[in-house]
Amino acid sequence: MGRPKALCGDAANDPGCAFILDEGEVRQICGRPCKTASPYCPKHHALCHVAYGSAGESDRLREVEALAKAVGGRRSRAAGGPSRQFLKRLERVARFSCE
């Protein structure tokens, strides 16, 4: 399953940055030009993307584990998280899903 063409750089149908702005009662997307291979503009890409192998990735995985443990989610066991191979494959699929 790929992303919608509008988020993959189709200039004719590109709505721009997909970051949802919550300003009062009206929610709308940012709409600025997207960063290459991202559904977000550079500003929102920096907010939303967690690079593989970064300290931010480790922090985010710890947050997910803590939340899952608190609510009894599937990942509540004391495992070390997803394998590095799985994360690399997932990132590769996400990066090249528009090609």
Residue 28 bridge partners (DSSP): 21
Q: pLDDT 10s per residue in the chain (99 long)?
A: 334 444 444 556 678 999 998 877 778 889 999 988 889 999 999 888 888 888 888 888 888 888 877 776 665 455 667 778 888 887 877 776 555
Interatomic CA distance for residues 76 and 39, integer angstroms? 31
Tell me if residue 41 falls in helix, strand or coil: coil
Name, in order, each residue with C-beta under 8 angstroms of 48's C-beta and a sequence gap of 6 or more.
19, 40
pTM: 0.47
All structural domains of the chain with their residue ranges: 1-49, 51-99
